[in-house]
């Protein structure tokens, strides 16, 4: 089933917590003002989605988030005819709603979607900024407030799942990575409520485990998993159990690799 969050207007209240690593906030805002599409690339759990949520609230824009997957088709984004009350009516998809009303449409992990998605987004990512709806015969012009943002994890790319150069070159791109140690400690502490003093060894462990990426592990520990682990510890769970549940078990199903990671954890986190 397609996972789509409904378009929501920006609400008054605190902006989602985000610590910039560089000039990405300024770049995002400039791209929005100049009506340029944006591509975010970086490892899983490094803060790409949080960044988009932060910027949507900061700019006061509605946000529609689509989690892409193998079965996501163009019609899931544009819309389709449905039977309702004995009538056949057209129902806009999240991309069409964003184009009609303005706001950000965020396609998360776009390389996971079917190839026909590219056909839909290409006219929105050049100077035309249009969305042709063949089923209804409409050609929608995107308003100045509309912005298309997509993301993907280059580490998972292969010959079958790669973003074509012809598509990548339609976007302004920002590369994300995990935050520097001090910043990551600060954000994990802020998100979990665990003191920075107790977060430091968890971040140190994450750096050790990330060094194993490409050897024993496909992916390193994400900042998201660090927050989960710190949250469990702050809630009173034994740190060893929290580390295993949030920082080791999600990374591997191999018993030998898991045992080796536990040894690393025991050596780093006393």
> Reduced to 3 DSSP states, what percent helix, strand and coil does the chain have, rounded to the nearest 5?
45, 20, 40
Q: Which residues contact 252 (CB under 8 A, 6 or more apart)?
A: 216, 217, 258, 261
pTM for this prediction: 0.85
Q: Is the pLDDT of residue 157 over 80?
A: no
Q: Is the pLDDT of residue 2 over 50?
A: no
Q: Is the pLDDT of residue 99 over 50?
A: yes
Q: Which CA distances in Å does 56 have to 62, 78, 149, 183, 188? A: 7, 21, 11, 22, 22
* Residue 269 three-state SS: coil
Q: Where are the alpha helices (DSSP H) in the chain?
A: 24-33, 48-59, 74-78, 94-101, 116-121, 165-168, 181-192, 196-210, 223-234, 239-243, 255-268
Q: What is the pLDDT of residue 222?
A: 92
* Residue 177 three-state SS: coil
Q: Are 219 and 251 in contact (CB under 8 A)?
A: yes
Average pLDDT of the residues in 2-24: 64
Q: What is the pLDDT of residue 105?
A: 98
Please provide the average confidence, as pLDDT, over all residues in the chain: 89
Q: What is the pLDDT of residue 6?
A: 46
Percent of the chain with pLDDT over 70: 92
Q: Is the pLDDT of residue 101 over 90?
A: yes
- 3-175 has which CATH code? 3.40.50.300
- pLDDT digit string (tens) for 208-250? 999 888 777 888 899 999 999 999 999 999 999 999 999 999 9
Q: Which residue has the tokens 């390193």?
A: 220
């Amino acid at each position: 089933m397609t996972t789509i969050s409904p378009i929501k207007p920006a609400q008054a209240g605190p902006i989602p917590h985000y610590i910039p690593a560089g000039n990405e906030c300024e770049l995002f805002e400039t791209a929005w003002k100049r009506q340029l599409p944006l591509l975010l690339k970086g490892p899983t759990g490094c803060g790409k989605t949080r960044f988009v949520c932060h910027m949507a609230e900061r700019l006061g824009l509605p946000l529609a988030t689509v989690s892409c997957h193998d079965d996501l088709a163009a019609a899931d984004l544009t819309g389709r005819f449905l039977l309702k009350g004995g009538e056949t009516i057209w129902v806009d998809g999240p991309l069409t709603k964003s184009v009609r009303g303005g706001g950000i449409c965020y396609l998360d992990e776009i390389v996971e979607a079917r190839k026909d998605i590219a056909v839909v987004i290409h006219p929105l990512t050049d100077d035309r900024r249009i969305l042709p709806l063949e089923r209804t015969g409409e050609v929608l012009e995107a308003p100045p407030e509309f912005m298309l943002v997509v993301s993907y994890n280059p580490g998972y790319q292969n010959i079958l799942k790669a973003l074509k150069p012809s598509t990548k070159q339609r976007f302004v791109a920002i590369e994300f990575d995990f935050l520097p140690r001090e910043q990551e400690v600060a954000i994990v502490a802020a998100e979990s409520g665990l003191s920075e003093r107790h977060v430091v060894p968890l971040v140190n462990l994450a750096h050790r485990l990330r060094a194993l990426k490409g050897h024993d592990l496909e992916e390193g520990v994400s900042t998201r998993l660090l927050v989960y682990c710190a949250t469990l510890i702050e809630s009173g769970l034994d740190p060893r159990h929290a580390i295993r549940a949030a920082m080791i078990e999600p990374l591997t199903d191999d018993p030998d690799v898991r045992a080796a990671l536990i040894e690393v954890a025991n050596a780093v986190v006393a």
